[in-house]
Chain A
Amino acid sequence: GEDVEQSLFLSVREGDSSVINCTYTDSSSTYLYWYKQEPGAGLQLLTYIFSNMDMKQDQRLTVLLNKKDKHLSLRIADTQTGDSAIYFCAEFEDSSYKLIFGSGTRLLVRP
């Protein structure tokens, strides 16, 4: 089956940039997503990128897509303590109409 992989943990200082990385296997995925889960809450869609784009910027968030290497990253500029959460990368599997999630990266922002 398809697989989405992420590192489990990232720690940064407040004000620094955070970069969360993700690799996926389904080269036919048309959309890739980043979801955020705050403690005790469900998942909230942060942003998504269409597979024919290589970059998307939305305020402090920058998504980079390297389709050749099947690598997706989420950069958070000027990281704040409120950004501490688990970040999930997900790809849309066109053949089954399912979202395939990574295991999530826990971001800890230190004051």
Chain B
Amino acid sequence: DIVMTQSPDSLAVSLGERATINCKSSQSVLYSSNNKNYLAWYQQKPGQPPKLLIYWASTRESGVPDRFSGSGSGTDFTLTINSLQAEDVAVYYCQQYYNTAPYTFGQGTKLEIK
């Protein structure tokens, strides 16, 4: 199975500043036939289910603010949150959906306000 490792485990960022969360896969999740990275990002607030933010590594889900962006390719990916808002406090997860199941998640990154 592909192992997803996020860094850091937690971070604190000031309001209005940028937050950067990294995700590394144990093998490439880039499909050469279509040049797509099989990588998604989720946000989970306390007591709520996960919310899809980004898929195909950089495609923003409908309704997600444009301060959220995804980048990277192959094995290294980044979720960037610009101009951090109070409502962005949450745990963020990456997930790979390359090849066949199981589609593994990273361990999560807890984002707090400094």
A associates with B: no
A interface residue numbers (CB < 8 A to B): none
